[in-house]
Chain A
Amino acid sequence: MKRKNIFIVGCLLFILLISSISLAAPTEYKTITTVPPSYAGQPGGLTDEGEFFLNNLSKNLINPAQLLDILNDKSAKKPLIIDVRANSDYINDHIPGAVWVAHAADMGSQEIGQKIRRLLNEHVASGGENEIVVYCYTGHSAGLVAGVLGERGFNIKNLRFGFNGWVGSQGSPAVIMGPIEKFPGDRDPVGVYGVVSPFGQPIVPMINMAPRLDTLEGKTIAVVGHSFMANVTHTEIKNIILEKYPTATVYLQNEIGSAGKYPAPGTASESVKAFQSKLREMNVDAVITGNGG
């Protein structure tokens, strides 16, 4: 009986043990999946800041428009902006205030890291934000740089889409100076497209504008064109000129003609030539033309 009791107790303990294992397993699994392994403080491991950086990768991007807003906000502390493209491209054109320390491929060295630390300290001492914004051409290489420097404890953000995105976001008339090529191995991330212009360069060169007049007094003015009630407006313009500038001379369309539509480059227009000859022949100083509508 005693043996039998021992056996029953043993069986119960076994069942309890199995039950405890099967109940404990999911709890352990959850723990493992929700808490990343910590290497902070271990030999060769991450700093606390580096671990924080890696856990917040998606938050370490800055959009070009956001950066533009910060730079335009006079009251905002500015980040230290580091250009990691080729030095020649940095010299050609860069984001206002950006500094160049090294090419992206060299940014991982201890020496460069120390240099950046000094730059950042100086930047903060002169009133700047304790933050770095790094950019390359498209955002790929700078993302790696941000990873390396972020792991070392820098408060660093990667400029989304790099310098191309910066130029595009401004919509400025500035000529873009970035290169075509990417770094070896760089690929557009899935769902991101590098795109080209849909039109070519104009072939008509720009001329120097004719100098403006100091006054209309004493000048010869042609008032030409025949569209949209010019028969009324142009006569009135002649009246105004002669009222305000009695020594001026005015020629109207019926006296001097007009050029008509300017011809395509490389083609001639007899009406343009004739009009220009008339302007010269009659010593015209200024032309008023219309009406467009």
Chain B
Amino acid sequence: MCTPLETGSLIAAEYIGIPACAIAATGFTDTVYSTGVNNGIPAPRAAEYPGAFSAHTNDELIANTRKVVWPQIVEALTKPITEEEIAKRSKKLGMEEDPRKILFTGTMDEVSKYFTKMRWSDGLPIAPPTIEKVNEFLKYTERPWDETVAVLPEAYRDTKVWHVAVNGVMAGCPPEYMPLLLAYTKAIADPTGRQAFGSTHSWIPYAWINGPVSRQLGIDCGQGMISEPQNMVLGRFLNLAVQNLAGFYIKENRMGTFGYTMPWTFAEDEKSCRRIGWDPYHVQKGFELNQNTLTASTSLVWGNNLIPATDDPQKIIELMAWDCVEKQMFALGSSFTNLNTRTILITEYIARNLSWQYKTKEDLEADLMATARRTAYDRAFASYYAHPGTRPSIPFPNFYKRVIRNEGAELTAPPPWYPPNFPDVYTLPVIQKPGDTVILVTGDPDRNKTQTMNGGGAITVEIELPANWDKLMAELGYPPLKEFFLEY
């Protein structure tokens, strides 16, 4: 996130005819190059700092700046730019005026290897995107094949309906998933839906489906939901979309330090919601119960889950609050309060117990916000010593006071998981405001599970089905959509 941020000054300068150079750590100069090229700078110049800045002492920082970085800066600002350099930085292969052009011919294995070599795939085998296969997907949308769906950062490519279908083919999706694929592409056009894809903190895209089409297409919300094949191929599409449609590439501008898991998708268990009396997520967002939506989000962690061994709603919410605090303690949660969001998945068993005390998801979130507090000292400690990138220039005690002052800490009873008789301490809410926490009922209804995924916000878009959807589904043997409607 910092490299594109700082490269912005390079781009702004070059646009008004001022030569510029961006300094970046080892491994991040490629981010400078791709960010520049994506924004119209054909041969951006970078100077590489050897290693991680904030892991070096001030003496090392000064020595490296003098001996290693400075000569590169001089060259970047004074050495003329050549045609070869422009050709090297700018990539053209695959960016075809006519998307239907055959670029490669080969066996299944050769196509997969070629796509991997060209970085057009995530490395797993792909289904070959032939014109015939792509055309099969186009049957399931009313939008013209060459209509632009989105122009997505970072690469700002003209992503047409065609390209969405191509990646659906590659992922192994059934053609009738096309409305869902288009919805995801639209969702990540919103910054909320693609939060921090480029960050070193490994934000993983994921999505969930609401509405009858999720049940019609068999998007799973039960035990092992994310590992069901129909959910997995949709997750694979997300992975390919982030790369091919949005233009985020591993080791270039998708810089997760410890890498990424495969994105996942699932459905909310709306039947459970109806039994409990809570609204499904899309209804909370203002959609009708039997409208179809896809919500795109990102997460910093899938991580382990909680297994509440109690039927006491108060204890359950205290456990969930503790989980929110634990998972929001470090990394981005330590410093960026504006990214302080999370999604909590609750199986029906636990949701039912909670519903005895909380009639709506909103009630639950409100109490969670009041309970999920951490001490200001915890917050200051994490933010001071895990501050992304730069060591604070003031001593810790002063920093702690600043956190209390600037972030609205209050002297309160300690969180309920602290020892009894623990004195009052300064605490801060982990959940900043209502709506920052998505609550979904999903997963194995016979197990007592909650899963907190801290991370990005969520953006919900309607899934547009073609008018002849029922006819198309009937041809494939699916029951009509109405059979999957829920009663109000």
Tell me the complex Cα distance, A195–B52, Å: 41
CB distance from A262 to the nearest CB of B (A): 4
Q: Which residues of A, 172-209, contact B by the 8 Å Cβ criterion?
A: 172-176, 178, 180, 188, 191-207, 209
Beyond A195-B130, A216-B77, A261-B8, is A201–B97 a contact (Cβ under 8 Å)? yes
Tell me the complex Cα distance, A229–B58, Å: 9
Complex contact B105–A292 (CB within 8 A):
no
Tell me the complex Cα distance, A205–B97, Å: 14
Question: Which of B162-170, B285-293, B395-403 makes up part of the contact surface?
Answer: B162-170
Beyond A259-B12, A261-B8, is A198–B78 a contact (Cβ under 8 Å)? no
> Does B211 have its Cβ within 8 Å of any Cβ on chain A?
no
Beyond A197-B166, A207-B14, is A288–B120 a contact (Cβ under 8 Å)? no
Interface majority SS (helix, strand, loop, mixed), chain A: loop
Indicate the member of B9, B35, B157, B170 with the most A CB atoms within 10 Å. B9
Indicate the member of A171, A201, A276, A292 with the most B CB atoms within 10 Å. A292
Beyond A199-B159, A228-B2, is A210–B120 a contact (Cβ under 8 Å)? no
Tell me the complex Cα distance, A293–B97, Å: 35
Question: Which of A69-77, A92-100, A278-286 makes up part of the contact surface?
Answer: A278-286
- Give per-residue flags for A118-157: 1 if the beta carbon is below 8 A from chain B beta carbons, else 0: 0000000000000000000011000000000000000000
Which of A193, A272, A293 touches B28 (beta carbons < 8 Å)? A293
- Count of inter-chain pairs, beta carbons less than 8 A: 339
Complex contact B49–A291 (CB within 8 A):
yes
Closest to A285 in B: B18
- Total interface residues on B, CB under 8 Å, equals 111
Complex contact B95–A197 (CB within 8 A):
yes
What residues of chain B lie closer than 8 Å to A162, measured between beta carbons? Answer: 105
Complex contact A212–B158 (CB within 8 A):
no
Complex contact B104–A290 (CB within 8 A):
no
Q: Which residues of A, 210-266, contact B by the 8 Å Cβ criterion?
A: 210-216, 222, 224-233, 236-237, 240, 258-262, 264-265
CB distance from B47 to the nearest CB of A (A): 8
Q: Which residues of B, 131-165, contact A by the 8 Å Cβ criterion?
A: 131, 134, 151, 153, 155-160, 163
- Give per-residue flags for A77-112: 1 if the beta carbon is below 8 A from chain B beta carbons, else 0: 000000000000000000000000000000000000
> Does A158 have its Cβ within 8 Å of any Cβ on chain B?
no
Question: A residues within 8 Å of B by Cβ?
Answer: 138-139, 161-162, 164-165, 167-168, 171-176, 178, 180, 188, 191-207, 209-216, 222, 224-233, 236-237, 240, 258-262, 264-265, 272, 275-276, 279-280, 284-293
What residues of chain B lie closer than 8 Å to A174, measured between beta carbons? Answer: 92-93
Complex contact A232–B94 (CB within 8 A):
no
Complex contact B155–A202 (CB within 8 A):
yes
> Does B91 have its Cβ within 8 Å of any Cβ on chain A?
yes
11 pairs, A vs B, C-beta closer than 8 Å: A165-B104, A168-B104, A178-B102, A202-B38, A206-B41, A206-B42, A227-B390, A233-B69, A285-B19, A288-B73, A293-B389
